[in-house]
Amino acid sequence: MSEKLNLKRFRIPEKLLRKFIWIFFSIGIVGMALPWSREIFIRLIPLTLLVCLVILGMADRTQNRKLFWLSGAIFTAGFLVEVIGVNTGFLFGHYGYSLHMGPTLFGTPLVMGVSWLMLLYLAVTVVQPISTNLVYQTIMAAVLMVVLDFLLEPAAIWMKMWRWEGGNVPFLNYLTWFFVSLVFAALFPLLKITTKNRLAMDLYFAQLLFFLLLIAISFVENLLGR
């Protein structure tokens, strides 16, 4: 009788993945801080999003097959929301993406679906262990999404990932982010999906720190007149 394939043999230890996350983002900060390497690292943003999603997938221990189908739905819905937003200005305000964000469809980078999926998964996974109240979980997940976007926007504009008409981020953007995130987050308790990923907290806060440091770098450069 042939030996059954043991998938656990191919799992990378969480401790190693955790170290990789912090080293990965530390290198990213250094690369963004140095003017001569900044353009290279900006062009690596789509790859960075994919790497983060792969890491989360490797560390995921969710015991519910519905997560796979829900992930596909969130990827698709998140991308379509961005398509509507970019082409109408109705949902978030008037904005447009740069060429740094990779292949596009209908004026929208395909990687934005990855971004919505990754960030929402992080927010939901961070919140779920805090409370058993499903309404609280859903609202707090949406709040964490807005916190991420609030720090992401100035960093993304500085990195020329996208641009806003008039140069300012409208309040409508954050309002729509909250309600769209609320709808997406509500699907997890609705489908009785409890995510389990011990690296979610690390990746969430690694991104928060990354955005904060980018904002600080941009502030210093503006102060110095660069």
226 — pLDDT class (breaks 50, 70, 90): low
Over residues 117-171, the pLDDT tens digits come to 999 999 999 999 998 899 999 999 999 999 999 999 999 998 888 999 988 999 9
pLDDT tens-digit readout, 188-204: 999 999 999 999 999 99
DSSP 154-220: HHHHHTTSEEEGGGS--HHHHHHHHHHHHHHHHHHHHTT-----TTHHHHHHHHHHHHHHHHHHHHH
- Domain ranges in the chain? 16-224
pLDDT of residue 149: 95
E strand or H helix that includes residue 117: helix 111-127
The answer to whether residue 10 scores a pLDDT higher than 70 is no
For the segment 81-94, the average pLDDT, to the nearest whole number, is 94
